[in-house]
Amino acid sequence: MGFVHRLWWRFVTVNGYLTEEDPEYRRLYLINVMLLFTLMVTVTFTQVHLFWTGITALMALNLIGFVATLSATVYLRVSHNLERVATFLNAIAFGGLATYLVFRQDSNQVYLWAAAYFPFAFFLKGRRVGGYFAGAFYVLVVAGATVNFTLIDPVPTTTLIRTLLNISTSLLAVCGMLYYYEATRADAIQRLSRASDELFTLSTTDALTGLYNRRYFDDVLPVMLARAQRDGELLCMLIIDADYFKAYNDYYGHPQGDQALKTIANVMTDALKRSSDLAFRLGGEEFGALYTVKEPDQAKTLAEHIRTDLERQAVPSPKSSLGKLTVSIGLRLFDGSVETSELSAWDLVSEADQALYRAKSQGRNRVVVYRPE
């Protein structure tokens, strides 16, 4: 990527604030193009009216527009508030063109500029709000033309009617086509957004239990580890395995086994209530969980809550010494220290697995916290 290309990309995307996959990417791109275009137009016409036409009012109007647009350009880069900048640009377009209509009713060119507002309205404010602004501007243009051709520069009645019909019909056609286009675009984006959400759910969710799947666990674990280290949080990883589950399946059959897995998933979901808490089915009868705590003791407390709550469900299990379904849990706590930060995510998974195996070897139905040998 050359220097000019890179500079342009940084300007129109606000230093990569949005990627091309984001539904608002094109809107951000075009808003920045419009900001740049408005800056160029206002600074050019400021000089034209200052040094050539001598129309002080229009010079002042363009100068104000330039300063306001420059401020909005800077504000967008500081706040990333796309909607507020869109509202500002719409106000500039509406107010600027409305003022131009008032000053230049004596020029037929004013109606060409009037037509330019409608794309601004629909693109910046969408189908509904943009439609209101477009309608208001349409009424303003037709009313201005009526005043101009009846009071300021009177014309014969037939000419007046023909002129008003031409202006109103052509502007209405432009407005209608833009409304239809914006409606089609908005519906397409909405359908794409729904499809994207559905694909994300399908790709990250276990169909049987409704928990996140192993693929999502692999994706999110490194991210959560990095966040925990950055924010100084204690990240807890649980590896959970149903005890004697093969024997359970052999005795009751797979349909009943599926119900048992759903019960475990429900217990985990009830225990992991915060939006930041994540529960996974890693495969077969193995589950996982990622959550943060403030104190190390809280990590085991939640794991014990999952274990005892499942025990209270009293799901019959013939092989278990208690006669009911239980789980063994391995717990690995990541505290962001130098020792743990040098480990990879998969080292931590391996260590949580080691804690799980110790829980199994010590008699099952227990929580074991990983400690180095």
DSSP characters for 235-283? EEEEEEEETTHHHHHHHH-HHHHHHHHHHHHHHHHHH--STT-EEEEEE
CA distance 347 to 361: 21
User: Quick check: 281 pLDDT over 70?
Assistant: yes
Confirm whether 83 is a catalytic residue: no
Using one digit for the tens of pLDDT, what is the confidence trace for 194-214? 888 889 889 999 999 999 999
Does the model's pTM come out above 0.75?
A: no
**Residue 99 binned pLDDT confidence (cut-offs 50, 70, 90):** confident
Domain-terminating residue out of 174, 201, 228: 201
Q: What is the SS3 assignment for 42?
A: helix
Are residues 168 and 118 part of one domain? yes
| Count of the separate structural domains present in the chain | 2
pLDDT-derived band at 19 (thresholds 50, 70, 90) equals confident
Res 176: pLDDT:
86
CA–CA distances in Å: residue 229 to residues 272, 309, 342, 346: 21, 31, 11, 16
Residue 41 located in a structural domain: yes
Looking at the structure, do residues 175 and 250 belong to the same domain, yes or no?
Answer: no
Residue where a domain terminates, one of 140, 174, 201: 201
Indicate whether 197 belongs to any domain: yes
209 in a domain, yes or no? no
CA atoms within 13 A on the CB side of 79: 12
Q: Give the Cα separation of 269 and 276 in Å (integer).
A: 12
**218 lies in the same domain as 197:** no
Same domain? 188 vs 120: yes
Does residue 207 lie within any of the structural domains?
no
pLDDT tens digits, one per residue of 108-137: 667 777 788 888 888 888 888 988 999 998
Domain limit, last residue, from 201, 235, 270: 201
For residues 157 and 248, state if they share a domain.
no
- Residue tagged active-site, from 285, 311, 339, 342: 285
| Residues 90, 222 within the same domain | no
Rounded average pLDDT over 352-366: 95
Question: Is 331 contained in some domain?
Answer: yes
Considering the domain architecture, whether residues 58 and 188 belong to the same structural domain is answered as yes
Same domain for 174 and 27: yes
CA distance 100 to 302: 67
> 10 and 126, same structural domain?
yes
User: Could you tell me the residue range of the domain that residue 131 belongs to?
Assistant: 3-201
Asked, for residue 188, whether it belongs to a domain, the answer is yes
CATH of the domain at 260: 3.30.70.270
